[in-house]
Amino acid sequence: MLKKLDSSQLRVGMFIHDLDCGWMEHPFVRNQFLVTNEAEIRKIVEARIRGVVIECGRGLDVEAPTATKARPQRSRSEGAWPSSMGRSIRCRGQK
């Protein structure tokens, strides 16, 4: 799926399908590429390229959750040791 967005919305991991400029007006060898670092995003912004088209099937989507958002938050009661166990847990072989 193709989406047009402002270059300020670009993130590492997005696949650029098209830059909103002529092929001679940008600093890249190709018009289509995966954004692999922040320096590439800076080059796009510095070249005053306002719009880009991303291909969601080949890279991240605009609304894709980040790693911290994708991980569900566990409440204190989930995964925590029952308070009755406290520090009295012993390993095998220990008396």
Pairing of strands 33-34, 15-19: antiparallel
Range with the largest mean pLDDT of 10-14, 19-23, 78-82: 10-14
Q: Render pLDDT for 13-67 as a digit per residue (tens, 0 to 9).
A: 999 999 988 877 888 888 899 999 999 999 999 989 999 999 999 999 987 555 5
The residue that leads in pLDDT, 76 or 40, is: 40
Which residue from 3, 14, 2 is spatially nearest to 44, judged by alpha carbons?
Answer: 14
pLDDT at 56: 94
pLDDT at 63: 77
pTM exceeds 0.85 for this model: no
State the pLDDT confidence band at 85, using cuts at 50, 70 and 90. very low
